[in-house]
Amino acid sequence: MGRFWAIFFILAAVVTVGFSAIGPEFRWWFPGDGLAHSTLGKKIDDLFYLILIIVSVTYVGTHIVLGYVLWRGAGIQKSDKVWFSHGSHALEVIWTIVPSGILLFIAFYQMDVWRNYRVKAYFPKKTAAVAEVTARQFEWRIRYPAPGKILQPRPQPDDIYTVNDIRVPAGQPVSISLRSDDVQHAIFVPGLRVKQDAVPGLVIPVWFEVTDTGTYDMVCAELCGWGHYKMKAQVVASSEEEFEAWKVNAAKEQSYDGVPQTPEAVAAKADDE
């Protein structure tokens, strides 16, 4: 039976590795096309794959050893002598130093991505504050400054509002001010690798630079009550011009007064001016 169990554990390791390897085939991997669509996201992906390689090598390595140990251990008879050893100082030193080197490398290698992402002094110089995103149970309410204006901390009469729909220009660093109206929420845009909690009482700036225009799913990533899963939203990144045009249009729609714009009325208005 011993050999059977050795194979059992080896097979388990082989199956897990194989399963991970076929994952991307079935789209059990990063969402969408599998790529990050923000500048920081790309770096995060690079780090992810770096760790994945280190971890995979370690996993396979330790399991080869484990498999070997089990296979060999199963074959040792009662009459055989076992290796009587209380340990090896040299080995202990090696397997302390080597992993600590690798681990420290991982830690320090991550630092600047984190710094650029969160430390305000290292934000890109020309970050445009596009919107204030307020999370509430169970939706995202978004406030933009009127076309040509800059975002103010307090609502302005000409602000533009959307719900569950964040519009940003692509190709330039933008930031949103994240707030919460009630409990804690978290903004999570998988396609952009952006995540930040919205903490009641704080206004937290989140910056990102979308590299490709498109629509990205956005979800809530902090348990916020029964409707946690309902906070379905999207980030729409468009070109700067389209973004401005959208804003102008949205401002117009928001000031709709219900009076049909007949051609005569438009003409009359033109005459007045």
Partner 1 sequence: MSTVTPDVGHPGAGGHDHDSHGHHGHGHAEPSPLSLLWQLPTFSCDHKVIGLQFLITTLMMLMVGGALALGVRWQLAFPWERMPILGDTVFKADGGQIAPETYTMLVTMHASVMIFLVIIPILAGAFGNFLIPLQIGADDMAFPTLNMLSYWFMWPAIACFGASFFFGGGPAGGWTSYPLLSALQQAAPGSGMAQTLWLVGLTLIGVSSMMGSVNYMTTIINMRAPGMTLFRMPLTIWSMFITAILQAFALPVLTAAGFMLVADRTLGTCFFIPSGIVVNNAAPTVGGGQPLLWQHLFWFYSHPAVYIMLLPAMGMVSDMLACMSRKPIFGYKPMVYSMAAIAGLGFIVWGHHMFTSGMNPALGMTFMVSTILIALPSAVKTFNWLGTMWGGRLQFNAVMLNCIAFVSMFIIGGLSGIFMAAVPVDIYIHDTYFIVAHFHYVIFGATLFGCFGAIQFWFPKMFGRMMNDTLGQIHFAITFIAFNCTFFPMHLLGVAGFPRRYADPYHFPYLEHLLPLNQFMTIAAIIMGFAQFLLLANFFGSMFFGKRCGRNPWNANGLEWTTPSPPGHGNFDIPPVCYHGPYEYSSPLSHDNDFLPQTEYVPLAQRQAIAQAGH
Partner 2 sequence: MLRCKMTLPHWSSFLGGLFVLVLASGCSKNPEAQFAWRDSTLELLPKAQDAVQQSITEGFGTPHDLVAWDKLPVDFGGVQGVVQPAVEGAKLSATEFQVQWDGTEDGIGAGSELLWMTGALAKSKTPTATVISYQPETKTLRLKTKNDAPAQGDRLAVGLGHQLQLGRMVYMKNCNHCHGVAGDGNGPTAQYLNPRPRDYRLGLFKFTSTLSSEKATREDLQRIVKYGIPGTYMPSFLLLDSKHNNFHETTAVVEYVRWLAMRGEMEKRLVDELSADYSQTALADEAEKEKKSYAEAKSEYDKARKAGNKEAAKPESAKSLTQLKKAAGEELAKYLEVDYPGTLNDTADFIADAWKRADDPASRIVPTVTRVADDAASRERGRLLYMSDKTKCYTCHGAKARGNGPAVEDFWKKPGSNETYAKRGLHDTWGNPLPPRDLTRGQYRGGRRPIDIFSRVYAGIKGTPMPAFGGTVLKDNDIWDIVNYVMSLPYEEQSPSAKPAAAPHMAATEPVGQ
Nearer Cβ to partner 2 (79/255):
255
Residue 219 binds: one of partner 1, partner 2, none (C-beta under 5 to 8 A by kind): partner 1
Q: Quick one: what does residue 101 bind among partner 2, partner 1, none, with the CB cut-off 5 to 8 Å set by partner type? A: none
By CB under 8 A, residue 76 contacts partner 1: yes
In the complex with partner 1, the residue whose CB is nearer, 130 or 194, is: 194
Helix orientation angle between 39-75 and 89-118, rounded to the nearest 10 degrees: 160
One residue of 133, 142, 186, 210 binding partner 1 per CB under 8 A: 186
The minimum distance between CB 246 and partner 1, in angstroms, equals: 22
Exposed e or buried b per residue across 37-50, where buried means at least 16 C-beta atoms within 10 angstroms of its C-beta: bbbbbebbeeeeee
CB closer to partner 2 out of 147 and 205 = 205
| Alpha-carbon separation of residue 80 from 66, 143, 175, 201, 259 (angstroms) | 20, 77, 69, 69, 97
Rounded CA gap, 232 and 164, in Å? 7
Q: Does 81 bind partner 1 (CB under 8 A)?
A: yes
Does 43 participate in binding partner 1 (rule CB under 8 A)? Answer: yes
Nearer to partner 2, 166 or 210 (CB): 166
CB 243 within 8 A of CB 169: yes
Number of chain residues interacting with partner 1 (CB under 8 A) = 104
CA 242 to chain centre: 25
Distance CA 141, CA 132 (A): 8
